């Protein structure tokens, strides 16, 4: 194909990808635009070949410890990849994988996964202890409501903020591991250590309840 045909094909593909992005109920066009960011989803689809074996073709992984990326904010995905590259966040596989891509590739891959339908849980998000903590926090222990940052049903806060990740509908085992890591300090890359403070006093039973609730949303 000539370059012009190539560009046309890429443009068409991007348009199809965008058109097929189902809005999460109540998500505005501005919010979707911010979710996807400035990258090129079509280029990102190609660039993400080596990620798809683990994270899935459309960002839905089958392994419970590998996070879904479908409909996650591009800004958040990009930040995590840069954090893996710099060592601010560490994980044996991802520290290595992140170093195989350039910053331009990383932005396109983030846009590709962000342009997919938002991850959805199994619909069983009915754990009352988890729901209460998510909606109300625990003022006595300085735990703010998770919802105030992660949004209704944990589906995020765009168009206001696109670096608070989608956590509703994420895999339970992955969420559990992250909350344990925030609590122990093994993961410490959140702005002003906010997630370390949030998770500091969570008990194992509360983490279990929260992840039960969140993975069902
Ligand atoms: C061999 C499997 C594997 C491959 C290949 C892989 N990943 Fe991952 N990825 C993981 C695992 C496991 C985690 C969870 C890390 C943790 O527990 O901290 C992860 C985490 C992530 C996260 C953090 C998500 C979040 O919610 O914070 C991003 C972003 C990510 N991967 C992107 C990529 C991209 C982009 C590629 C391709 C360049 C890629 N991964 C390739 C296994 C993989
Ligand atoms: C003040 C805002 C704020 C509050 C309140 C908050 N979070 Fe977060 N959370 C964040 C931010 C910001 C990040 C992303 C950190 C980063 O950039 O790595 C995050 C990340 C996470 C992650 C990791 C997601 C992933 O894909 O790796 C989990 C899990 C999480 N939060 C759960 C919770 C739970 C459960 C609560 C309530 C008990 C909560 N958060 C309350 C701001 C908040």
For residues 122 and 217, give the distance between their C-alpha atoms in angstroms, rounded to a whole number: 7
**Which domain-ending residue is among 81, 114, 147?**
114
CA 38 to centroid of ligand 1, rounded, Å: 21
* Ligand 2 atom closest to the CA of 170, numbered from 1: 26
Structural domains of the chain, count: 2
Asked if 59 and 135 sit in the same domain, the reply is no
For residues 166 and 185, give the distance between their C-alpha atoms in angstroms, rounded to a whole number: 21
Range(s) of the domain holding residue 164: 128-216
Asked if 104 and 173 sit in the same domain, the reply is no
Residue 122 located in a structural domain: no
Residue 98 located in a structural domain: yes
For residues 93 and 124, give the distance between their C-alpha atoms in angstroms, rounded to a whole number: 31
Residue 86 located in a structural domain: yes
For residues 124 and 115, give the distance between their C-alpha atoms in angstroms, rounded to a whole number: 25
Residue nearest to ligand 1 atom 37, measured at CA: 51
Residue nearest to ligand 2 atom 15, measured at CA: 190
Asked if 190 and 109 sit in the same domain, the reply is no
Whichever domain contains 195, its CATH number is 1.10.760.10
Residue 9 located in a structural domain: yes
Residues near ligand 1 with C-beta < 6 Å? 50-51, 53-55, 65-67, 69, 77, 80-81, 91, 93-94, 97, 101, 109, 165, 177
Residue 209 located in a structural domain: yes
Asked if 134 and 108 sit in the same domain, the reply is no
Is residue 190 within 6 Å of ligand 2 at its C-beta?
A: yes
Residue 121 located in a structural domain: no
CB 155 within 8 A of CB 162: no
Asked if 107 and 136 sit in the same domain, the reply is no
Is residue 172 within 6 Å of ligand 2 at its C-beta?
A: no
Digit-coded pLDDT (tens) for 74-89:
999 999 999 999 999 9
CA 22 to centroid of ligand 2, rounded, Å: 24
Residue 120 located in a structural domain: no
Q: Which pLDDT score, from 0 to 100, does residue 25 have?
A: 59
Asked if 100 and 138 sit in the same domain, the reply is no
Q: Which pLDDT score, from 0 to 100, does residue 50 have?
A: 93
Asked if 153 and 183 sit in the same domain, the reply is yes
CB 163 within 8 A of CB 75: yes
Query: Residues of the chain with pLDDT > 90: what percent?
Result: 78
Residue 179 located in a structural domain: yes
Residue 18 has pLDDT above 90, yes or no: no
Digit-coded pLDDT (tens) for 111-136:
999 999 999 998 887 899 999 999 99
Q: Which pLDDT score, from 0 to 100, does residue 202 have?
A: 97
| Six token digits for residue 180 | 């344990």
Global pTM value: 0.92
Is residue 133 within 6 Å of ligand 2 at its C-beta?
A: yes
| Six token digits for residue 183 | 């609590």
**Which domain-ending residue is among 87, 114, 141?**
114
Q: Which pLDDT score, from 0 to 100, does residue 17 have?
A: 45
Exposed e or buried b per residue across 60-81, where buried means at least 16 C-beta atoms within 10 angstroms of its C-beta: bbeeeebbbbbbbbbbbbbbbb
Asked if 110 and 150 sit in the same domain, the reply is no
């Amino acid at each position: 194909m000539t370059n012009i045909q190539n560009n046309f094909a890429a443009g068409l593909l991007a348009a199809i990808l965008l058109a097929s992005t189902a809005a999460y109920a109540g998500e505005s066009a501005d919010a979707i635009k911010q979710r996807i960011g400035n990258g090129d989803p079509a280029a990102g689809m190609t660039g993400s070949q080596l990620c798809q074996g683990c994270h899935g073709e459309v960002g839905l992984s089958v392994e419970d410890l590998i996070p879904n990326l479908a409909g996650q904010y591009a800004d958040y995905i990009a930040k995590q990849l840069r954090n893996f590259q710099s060592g601010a966040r560490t994980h044996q596989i991802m520290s290595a994988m992140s170093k195989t891509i350039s910053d331009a590739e990383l932005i396109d891959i983030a846009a590709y996964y962000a342009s997919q339908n938002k991850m959805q849980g199994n619909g069983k998000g009915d754990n009352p202890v988890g729901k209460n903590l998510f909606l109300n926090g625990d003022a006595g222990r300085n735990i703010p409501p998770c919802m105030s940052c992660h949004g209704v049903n944990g589906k995020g806060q765009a168009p206001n903020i696109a670096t608070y990740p989608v956590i509703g509908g994420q895999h339970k085992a992955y969420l559990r591991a992250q909350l344990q890591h925030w609590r122990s300090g093994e993961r410490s890359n959140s702005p002003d250590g906010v997630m370390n403070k949030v998770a500091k006093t969570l008990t194992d039973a509360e983490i279990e309840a929260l992840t039960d609730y969140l993975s069902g949303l």
